[in-house]
Amino acid sequence: MVNKTKKILIINTTYRELGGEDINILEEINFLKEFYEVDYLEFQNKKKLKFRDLFYFLSLNNLESNRKLQKKLDKFKPDLVYVNNTWFKGNLGLFQILKQNEIKTILKIHNFRYECTRFLTSKGHLKGGDICKMCGRTFKPYSILNKYFADSYLKSFAILRYGYKYINVLKNYPIHIFVLNAFHKNYLVSLGISEDKISVSYNPINFDLEIRNKSYNQSNYITYAGRISDEKGLSELLRTWTSSGMEKIKLKIVGDGSLLDSLRAEYKDTNIEFLGEKSQEETQIIIKNSLAVVTATKMFEGQPRLLCEASSYGVPSIFPKFGGLQEYFPTDYSLSFQQFNYEDLKNKINLLRNNKVVNKNGLEAYSFLKSKIQKDILKKNFDRVLNIEK
């Protein structure tokens, strides 16, 4: 039953470049509007900081953003505030205002990067390993300080203070926390955050009503869509692809990032096609008509947009068994590979030669995800916090 007497205010600080998290939030706004009265408060990080922005940046208390929130609360009078990204323009001072106003609050955590900013030293950040599973940062010899932003000690110092205070908010403030898989929930519990404060709540998905149930030999490419960067495993993916012998099938790379130019030059005479940045609509069409999609990410992920969009069309995914990724697929899914085992990745790529394997995994991925992510289940997560139903 629709209960539009309840009001939800959604807060988000957008990234400088539109990415998967921001798109997910916009889609969730549309979902929530079906059931509640919804308003949206957005903060934006500008490329150039003014003097007062620099002061707010270092103090982690943005008085301008805080005033905007209080003004919105006074006017809209929400029953619930739903907070997403707060770095840095949104700022952590928002939670103090919400606490003072005694407003029910949900914080949705989309990734694990808060864990990368809890440590002052590089060793603490990487936990003694060669790579950070949260952000993909690799070990650098003689690196002592945790320089999170490679181009700035000042920004790195600010975000380390932010990360320390962020964990304090999670532990001690009267908020409920949404995460995107059970793996992430268990991780937060291991940090000392009460399990009672945490719920798994997925991003809503629009499932294609005309799922393809046909021979996939009409498609002559597979797709990677996302950041073209080291932490996404692009170099390893492309090396594995070129050794797989899939001459008649193209690998289409959609997106932009630090490795785009160098990889494009390195693989210019291969069956790898770099499409650059595409609109959300263009990317969806490319994914829908793919033989499959693939990722070799080195990081713990939240809810993988590429893989879930593919499943919503009945398109299978090749992905590493890592973190919470497996939770979005059946337990016997045959196209997942052992993380960092690129021979196993090559074997999974070669399975795409068999149309029966492709069809079977695509249909199973569609059915599994559709049963897992349903509107009434997602709505109940919000109703429980609103105390509409117990």
Under CATH, which number does the domain 7-205+374-386 receive?
Answer: 3.40.50.2000
> 44-66 burial, b for 16+ CB within 10 Å, e for fewer?
ebeeeeeeebeebbeebebeebb
Rounded-to-integer distance, Cα 244 and Cα 271, Å:
12
Spell out the domain ranges in the chain.
7-205+374-386, 216-372
Give 15-25 pLDDT, tens digit per residue: 866 667 888 99
Structure tokens at 314: 């009945």
The answer to whether 7-205+374-386 and 216-372 have equal CATH topology is yes
C-alpha radius of gyration, the chain, whole number: 22
Task: Provide the percentage of residues in the chain whose pLDDT is more than 70.
Answer: 93
Give 313-365 pLDDT, tens digit per residue: 999 999 999 999 999 999 999 999 999 999 999 999 999 999 999 999 999 99
State the amino acid at position 308 in one-letter form: C
pTM: 0.92
Give 260-293 pLDDT, tens digit per residue: 999 999 999 999 999 999 999 999 999 999 999 9
Give 123-172 pLDDT, tens digit per residue: 889 887 888 889 888 877 767 889 888 888 888 888 999 999 999 999 99
Q: Which residue has the higher pLDDT, 16 or 175?
A: 175
Using the Cα atoms of residue 187, residue 193, residue 196 and residue 197 in order, give the sign of their dihedral: negative
Give 46-71 pLDDT, tens digit per residue: 767 676 776 777 777 889 999 999 99
* DSSP characters over 135-150: T--B--TT--B--SST
Indicate left, alpha or beta for 244 from its phi (over 0: left) and psi (-120 to 50: alpha). Answer: alpha
Q: 3-class SS at 295?
A: coil
Going by C-beta distance under 8 Å and a sequence separation of 6 or more, which residues neighbour residue 282? none
Under CATH, which number does the domain 216-372 receive?
Answer: 3.40.50.2000
Nearest to 82 by CA among 107, 111, 110: 107
